[in-house]
A = this chain, B = another copy of it.
Amino acid sequence: MSGALTDIAADKSVRAVVIAANGPAFSAGHDLKELTGRRGDADKGRAYFTQIMTMCSTMMQQIVNLPQPTVAAVQGVATAAGCQLVASCDLAVASAAAKFATPGVDIGLFCSTPMVALSRNVTRKHAMEMLLTGDPVSAEDALRFGLINRVVAVGAERKEAIALAQYVAEKSAHTVKIGKEGFYRQAEMTLAEAYRTVTQIMVDNLLSADAEEGIGAFIEKRDPKWEDR
């Protein structure tokens, strides 16, 4: 997945990404047998587990740092790193039958890395309830918490996620890229710092070919033709 994201990041023909799954689950996170498979190593598996966890955290940050917008299409359970995957996407569409959980606490392995993404999507009490109880949350509750954007009829989630991705893919790829990048950068700044940084981003944006085209098209009441199209 990390490799695919690296390829996508460099591929200008890809304008939006839908992350979906086949089978009953969206993602149940790590394979527990893989995680514990190297307990017999001299270091009890520390090096191996560090490697796996670092790869996972890197992949999640690749999604956040991807120039293209990402939409999760959640058809089944999204637990642990699977729930983190949903939280890491820019947008998420879920089936009414989808469930979300961070159940690591039940197996003695707190969903610590998932909580990094989860706690940046929902308020503290909601995140803590999921993390401390480990209990599944319905699609309706996930919508109320702000973890997902839309709940659709069972079976419609992939079609809806693709439609949403296509809708965003019609926009200027350059504009979406600088917007998404700026969003996550400024989120970590003070207000004054954010305004300083983002004002500069917006000036550069206005001077881009796509803004010239887009504003011109708007004023002339015609459809814009983006550069990378």
Contact = CB atoms under 8 A, between A and B. Distances in A.
A149 to B, nearest CB: 5
A172 B61 contact: no
Q: How many residues of A sit at the interface, in one of the four size bands?
A: 35 or more
Given A183-B127, A207-B46, A35 B215 contact: yes
A173 B218 CA distance: 45
A199 interface: yes
Given A49-B206, A186-B115, A214-B107, A146 B125 contact: yes
A13 interface: no
A42 interface: no
A7 interface: no
Interface string A75-118: 00000000000000011100000000000111111111101100
A16 B129 CA distance: 14
A67 interface: no
A138 interface: no
A171 B116 CA distance: 21
Interface stretch (A19-27, A153-161, A174-182): A174-182
A37 to B, nearest CB: 11
5 contacts: A104-B175, A110-B178, A113-B195, A132-B168, A133-B164
